[in-house]
Amino acid sequence: MKNRIFFFPLETSSRDYPYKKRLSDAIYKNGDIHIFARPWVLSYLCLFVRDVNWIGQNVNHKFRFSGKKLSQYIKSKNGKIFYFDEEGGFYYPSELAHEVIRHRYESLSIEDIDYVFSWGICQHTIVSEMGFNSVCLGHPRFDPIQRSKLDKNKDKVLLLTNFSLILSKKTFQSEFDDKYFPARRTSTLEDISQLFKFVSENNDKVIQIRVHPSEDLDLYKMMFKSLKNVKI
Question: Which parts of the chain fold into alpha helices (H)?
Answer: 13-27, 39-45, 70-76, 94-105, 121-129, 164-167, 180-201, 217-223
Q: Is 228 exposed, middle or buried (0-12, 13-18, 19+ CB in 10 A)?
A: exposed
pTM above 0.75, yes or no: no
Alpha-carbon distance 95 to 109, whole Å?
A: 23
> What residues pair up with 160 in beta bridges, in sequence order?
210
Give the model's pLDDT for residue 146. 57
Q: Could you report the per-residue pLDDT of 71-122, keeping only the tens digit for each?
A: 999 999 999 999 988 776 566 677 778 888 888 898 899 999 999 998 888 8
Q: Is 54 exposed, middle or buried (0-12, 13-18, 19+ CB in 10 A)?
A: buried
Task: Output DSSP code: residue 115.
Answer: E
Alpha-carbon distance 45 to 42, whole Å?
A: 5
Round to the nearest angstrom and report the end-to-end CA distance of the chain. Answer: 54
Give the model's pLDDT for residue 99. 83
Peptide bond into 93 cis (omega under 30): yes
Amino acid found at 6: F
Task: Output DSSP code: residue 69.
Answer: B
Q: What percent of the chain has pLDDT over 70?
A: 87
Give the model's pLDDT for residue 96. 77
Alpha-carbon distance 202 to 147, whole Å?
A: 25
Q: Which residues of the chain have pLDDT under 50?
A: none
Give the model's pLDDT for residue 130. 95
Rounded to the nearest 5°, which phi and psi values hold at 105? -100, -15
- Please check whether residue 100 is in contact with residue 123, taking contact to mean a CB–CB distance below 8 angstroms: no
- Please check whether residue 69 is in contact with residue 59, taking contact to mean a CB–CB distance below 8 angstroms: yes
Sign of CA pseudo-dihedral 149, 150, 155, 159: positive
Task: Output DSSP code: residue 170.
Answer: S
